[in-house]
Amino acid sequence: MTENRDPGGPIRQFTADLVEAAMAGAYEEVADTLGALTRAGSPHAPAEVVAELVDRCAGVVHARHPAGPGSIFTIVVADDQARPVEVDRLPPGPLAALRALLAALGDDVESRDIQVELASRGEPDDVVCVVIHLLVWLVEVSDSSTAALPSLSCFTP
């Protein structure tokens, strides 16, 4: 992947490459890719990447903890010191991404789509913040070394 990669191309492959870099700890590659996303010519690319990441997170959670219809999911958010964070204090983008994830877990496609749209609005820095949170959450829930799902990290004040 290079910084000249076109995120307006196949979003699924772009997101797969981004996730692969994040999982491998290739943070310079992730940063370059996020830079390409901010320069995307398509106004829809950020929302498509956010939607893809939300679905990947939900897929990992469902694979680790299958749930029946009507199951209720709760999410615990923690700061860099592992202290609980009040969800309502999250910035709008990450909060909408969190709500999109909960909607995806509950198979509420309409709410998921609305929250993805809200999460991907704003300035490029806002969208990068959302994508970074989703990447970190995906890495956290993918950690197979723990039986229980972890708290999700939040990196904003």
Average pLDDT over residues 24-30: 92
Mean pLDDT of the chain, nearest integer: 86
* Contact by Cβ (8 Å): 57, 138: yes
The model's pTM is 0.87
CA-closest candidate to residue 28, choices 2, 57, 54, 55: 2
β partners of residue 78: 84, 153
3 pLDDT tier (thresholds 50, 70, 90): very low
User: Which band of pLDDT confidence, cut at 50, 70 and 90, is reported for residue 144?
Assistant: low
Percentage of the chain modeled with pLDDT above 70: 90
Q: How many domains does the chain have?
A: 1
Does residue 36 belong to any structural domain of this protein?
A: no
Model confidence at 23, pLDDT cuts 50, 70, 90, reads very high
Of the pLDDT bands very low, low, confident and very high (cuts 50, 70, 90), residue 1 is: very low
pLDDT of 136 > 50? The answer is yes
Domain that holds residue 104: 45-153
Does 2 have pLDDT greater than 60? no
Q: Indicate whether 32 belongs to any domain.
A: no
Asked if residue 26 belongs to a domain, the reply is no
Q: Is residue 118 part of a domain?
A: yes
CA distance 39 to 37: 5
Q: pLDDT confidence of 120, banded at 50, 70, 90?
A: very high
Contact 64, 149 (CB under 8 A): yes
